[in-house]
Amino acid sequence: MSLQNTFVQRTKLFVINVIKLYKELPNTTEAQIIGRQWVRCSSSVGANYRAACRARSQKEFSAKLSIVAEEADESIFWMEILIGVEIMSMEKLNYVFKEARKF
C-alpha cells in the first residue's frame, strides 16, 4: 500500500473513531455542542486529505495539507475541552488524540 493510501485509510479511521466516541457523549447541551464541533473538524481532516490527493499542483497540495493540519489541531482543541470540563477522560480519547497529533 502506498503512503498516500495509508494516509487516506488513517484519516478515514480517525473520523470513524471520533464519530464512535461522539455517540458515547452524554445527552447534555454542552456535550452535544462541543461534540458537533469536534466531529465537524475531525471529518474535515479526512475530507481535506482526500482533496489534497487530487491536487492539480504542488501549491494546491500544500494548501490542502495546511487545512488538514489546522483541522487536526482544532480537533485536539475540542478534545482538550472535553477533558477539561470532565465530559470525557484522556484515557478514552487517547488513541484519537495521539492520531490527531500525527497529522
CATH code, domain with 35: 1.20.1440.60
Q: What is the count of structural domains for the chain? A: 1
Please tell me what DSSP assigns to residue 55: -
Q: Which domain holds residue 15?
A: 3-102
Residue 51 neighbours by CB under 8 Å, 6+ apart: 64
Q: How far apart are CA 103 and CA 33, in angstroms?
A: 24
Q: What value does the CA radius of gyration of the chain take, rounded to a whole number of Å?
A: 14
Phi, psi dihedrals of residue 25, rounded to the nearest 5°: -65, 150
Kindly indicate the confidence band of residue 51, based on its pLDDT and cuts at 50, 70 and 90. Answer: very high
Examine the pLDDT at 4 and tell me if it is beyond 80: no
The mean pLDDT of the chain is 95
pLDDT-based confidence at 31, cuts 50/70/90? very high
- The per-residue pLDDT for range 80-96, each reduced to its tens digit, is 999 999 999 999 999 99
User: Per-residue pLDDT for 1 more than 90?
Assistant: no
